[in-house]
Structure 1
Amino acid sequence: MPSSRTFESLDAREEIAELAARLIYDEGIRDYALAKRKAVKQLGLSPRTMLPTNEAIEEALARRAAEYQDEDDAERLGRMRRAAAEVMRWLEPWSTYLVGHVLEGTAGPLSVVDIDLYAESAKEVEIFLLNHPWLRFDVHTPRAGGAKEPETVFEFDWHGVPVSLRIWPLSSERNLKRSEHRARLPAVLALLEPPASLSPAEPAR
């Protein structure tokens, strides 16, 4: 029979998951580990408290989105998905995928469009962006590096929608796990309601 300590641990993990989901949704936090740490601190729990899985947080996010999203939120989500489709079309023939909260339908007021792009090098993508002077972008190189981090991240606005373009080595695309949720352009277009034509490839200057 489970001990009272086991139930307390389960309750704590549920509380952390719910609060972490709220922080991600309301404050636009993108790092699940950071959201968990902030939740633990705000709840006054021990740093050694067993943490919920990312899957548990995603489930809490889905519940929160279903409970709190209204027509304005649905309209914003539609704009973000349309922006994602336009950016992905603009970046052809590179291999791109929409990932994250915009794909999942759990994007909050401060969320961004996350797009993964696979290329021979981040430099070739940067040159492409530089050849379009109407686009202002920031460049970030993740500190940790390694297979779990993108090579480079380009951040820019597309029709007022914030976009985070994460560049991965072309070779790593072959190692993608089927369990990871991502969508190519046709799948993103299928999410649009109604599936009307996209805006021109270049956003208004």
Structure 2
Amino acid sequence: MKRHPRGDNVRRALAQEAARIMAEHGIRDFLIAKRKAAERLGVEDGPALLPKNSEIEAALAEYQRLFGGESHLSALQAQRHAALAAMRYLEEFEPRLVGA
């Protein structure tokens, strides 16, 4: 199926705005972020134009790389260490790691 370049540009802009919303406002729900981005950019909330979650994840990683820099990496490392410590503390309950 052939895609229209303007549609791709709109999807990319929506993905970038949704990523910014998620990063700055702590929103974790992709659909909410997509709808807020569409509203802010004046795009009708049509499923054909909304970006995939994977597109938003990629845009979010890029946003964090550009604007989070070393502080984001340090915070992420600290969160991972805290999660590991919590899993060790709860070892008798056989915790499982899920998510990113």
- TM-score, structure 1 normalization: 0.44
Q: Residues 84 and 98 of structure 1 are in contact (CA less than 8 Å); yes or no, is this contact kept in structure 2?
A: no
Give the letter aligned to residue 29 of structure 1: I
Matched, 1:69 2:68: yes
More helix by share: 2
- Residue 98 of structure 1: how far off its partner (Å): 4.2
After superposition, what is the alpha-carbon deviation per residue over 1:43-85, rounded to whole angstroms, capped at 9, x for unaligned?
0111226211111111111111221223332322222111111
Q: Which has the higher contact order (CA 8 A, sep 6+)?
A: 2
Q: How many residues align?
A: 97
Instruction: Tell me what 1:35 maps to.
Output: 33
Aligned equivalents of 2:12, 2:96: Cα separation in 1? 34
Aligned equivalents of 1:63, 1:72: Cα separation in 2? 15
Identify unmatched segments of 5+ residues in structure 2: none
- Shift of the 57–16 alpha-carbon distance from structure 1 to 2, 3 Å rule, reads same
More strand by share: 1
SS at match of 1:96: coil
| Match among 22, 25, 31 for residue 20 of structure 2 | 22
Q: Moved runs in structure 1, 4+ residues, more than 3 A? A: none
> What is the identity percentage for the equivalent residue pairs of Structure 1 and Structure 2?
34
Q: Residues 24 and 30 of structure 1 are in contact (CA less than 8 Å); yes or no, is this contact kept in structure 2?
A: yes
Q: Which has the larger radius of gyration?
A: 1
Aligned equivalents of 1:81, 1:98: Cα separation in 2? 12
Q: What's the RMSD between the two structures over aligned residues?
A: 1.7
- TM-score, structure 2 normalization: 0.84
Q: Residues 19 and 56 of structure 2 are in contact (CA less than 8 Å); yes or no, is this contact kept in structure 1?
A: yes
Q: Residues 64 and 72 of structure 2 are in contact (CA less than 8 Å); yes or no, is this contact kept in structure 1?
A: no
Q: Residues 19 and 59 of structure 2 are in contact (CA less than 8 Å); yes or no, is this contact kept in structure 1?
A: yes
Aligned equivalents of 1:75, 1:95: Cα separation in 2? 24
Give the letter aligned to residue 37 of structure 1: R
Give the letter aligned to residue 89 of structure 1: R
Instruction: Tell me what 1:169 maps to.
Output: none
Instruction: Tell me what 2:43 maps to.
Output: 45
Identify unmatched segments of 5+ residues in structure 1: 101-205
Aligned ranges 1:1-205 → 2 under 5 Å: 6-48=4-46, 50-93=49-92, 94-100=94-100
